[in-house]
């Protein structure tokens, strides 16, 4: 792949470009697939047609919307659906929604267990 900042060819696993010192996918000036010049607003490379990856911009919206988090916390089914929708395209979002879904399930289970204990307690002492 190529550094998106300076266009130098680098290995796939390189985390910081040895030429310019920027994280390779945090730049917007070159295509990561062919190294051609790109502009920050470009979604696809004009030269090779590759989908341009911009980690810097993606970071800002890595977190799922609050409403989606709340929904998946209250209704884990929603979280699971959102997870499957997002996990191919937006793994970061999917991850965060996954955490909220697990949190919601755990919270539900605590309430459930509490309900059983409470029910057992009141049944034992109630009558
Ligand atoms: Zn570079
Ligand atoms: Zn390209």
User: Per residue of the chain (127 residues), what is the pLDDT tens digit?
Assistant: 999 999 999 998 899 999 999 999 999 999 999 999 999 889 999 999 999 998 865 445 557 888 999 999 999 899 999 999 999 888 888 999 999 999 999 999 999 999 988 888 777 776 5
Residues 6+ apart with CB under 8 A from 97: 64, 68, 69, 72, 79, 82, 83, 86
**Residues forming beta bridges with residue 2, ordered by sequence position:** 9
Q: What is the 20 CA–ligand 2 centroid distance (Å)?
A: 19
The reply to whether 26 and 74 lie within a common domain is no
The reply to whether 92 and 118 lie within a common domain is yes
The reply to whether 106 and 56 lie within a common domain is no
Q: How far apart are CA 51 and CA 61, in angstroms?
A: 18
Q: What is the 48 CA–ligand 1 centroid distance (Å)?
A: 19
Ligand in closest contact with the CA of 25: 1
Give the model's pLDDT for residue 58: 47
Give the model's pLDDT for residue 92: 87
Q: What is the 42 CA–ligand 1 centroid distance (Å)?
A: 18
The reply to whether 49 and 84 lie within a common domain is no
- The size of the chain, in residues, is 127
Q: What is the 20 CA–ligand 1 centroid distance (Å)?
A: 4
> Where in the sequence is the domain holding 86, given as residue range(s)?
62-126
């Amino acid at each position: 792949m190529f550094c998106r900042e300076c266009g130098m060819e680098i290995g796939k696993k390189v985390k910081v470009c040895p030429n310019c010192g920027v994280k390779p996918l945090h730049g917007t000036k070159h295509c990561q697939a062919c190294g051609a010049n790109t502009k920050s607003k470009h979604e696809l490379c004009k030269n090779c047609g590759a989908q341009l990856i911009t980690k810097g911009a993606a970071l800002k919206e890595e977190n799922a919307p609050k409403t989606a988090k709340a929904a998946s916390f209250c209704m884990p089914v929603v979280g699971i659906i959102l997870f499957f929708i997002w996990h191919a395209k937006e793994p970061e979002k999917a991850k965060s929604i996954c955490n909220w879904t697990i949190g919601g399930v755990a919270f539900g289970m605590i309430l459930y267990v509490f309900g059983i204990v409470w029910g057992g307690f009141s049944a034992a002492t109630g009558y």
